[in-house]
Amino acid sequence: MGGTEHLTVRREGATLVLTLNRPESKNALSLPMLVGLYDGWLAADEDEEVRSVVLTGAGGCFCAGMDLKALAGKGMEGEQYRDRMTADPDLHWKAMLRHHRPRKPVIAAVEGHCVAGGTEILQGTDIRIAGESATFGLFEVRRGLFPIGGSTVRLPRQIARTHALEMLLTGRPYSADEAARIGLIGRVVPDGTALDAALAVAEQINACGPLAVEEVKASVYETAEMTETDGLAAELKRGWPVFATADAKEGARAFAEKRPPVYRRH
């Protein structure tokens, strides 16, 4: 299934589960983690049996962001992956979903810390579920740094600008309840159940027509910055062809026959 020492990959039915796996460092970003993430996104895109992706963290933590010890010059683990970064200087941005958007829906299952780079990766996911003790925030300005993972662009487009600027400019932590209130995450669940809740959502997605799901997701992002007129026109270009697919016919037939549909991506 691939993966690296800091990123594990496993299948749960039609869902690919990617787990940030560096709990001793609160899953701070490392070269092995970034390479594993990038490979995981590609694997999900290329495997037509995968219909959704769940991103989570090991050890009751999502991601504490950049490894500040490495930034201070104390070295970063995983030098054996350096050639991958040299071959693709954009790999880390693709891994963090700054310069890559997976075709399949990505659901974040957050427990514990999801701060700095963790909150930046979160903004590249589609559906977000968090345990009630989870903590969010963009702490970069407190360290004299810039949240260059895309937050100054994406966050004001995802939540109200006043909330985005408060988060960006104060560098303060946010509870799961507050994060849900301002729209950064969609749902708060009891601690320790975020992954189960995310997998349950993934199962609901997996039961739907995969071509329809992918085109709906693509349309939402494609039309986000369009005028309503242009967006509606673009929606028709994506939407009408879906009705001509065998999967669309199977969905209608299964409904009439009162049975679960069997979709084959055509």
CB within 8 Å of 1: residues ≥ 6 apart: 9, 10, 11
Half-sphere exposure of 194 (CA within 13 A, CB side): 33
Phi-psi region of 224 (alpha: psi -120 to 50; beta: other; left: phi over 0): alpha
Q: Say if residues 234 and 219 touch (Cβ distance below 8 Å).
A: yes
Structure tokens of 139?
């702490």
- Calculate the CA dihedral of residues 146, 147, 148, 151 and round it to 10 degrees: -140
What SS3 state is found at 174? strand
Helix residue ranges, H only, 47-106 = 68-69, 82-87, 91-95
CB within 8 Å of 92: residues ≥ 6 apart: 34, 38, 85
Question: What is the H or E stretch that residue 128 is in?
Answer: strand 127-131
Catalytic residues: 120, 140
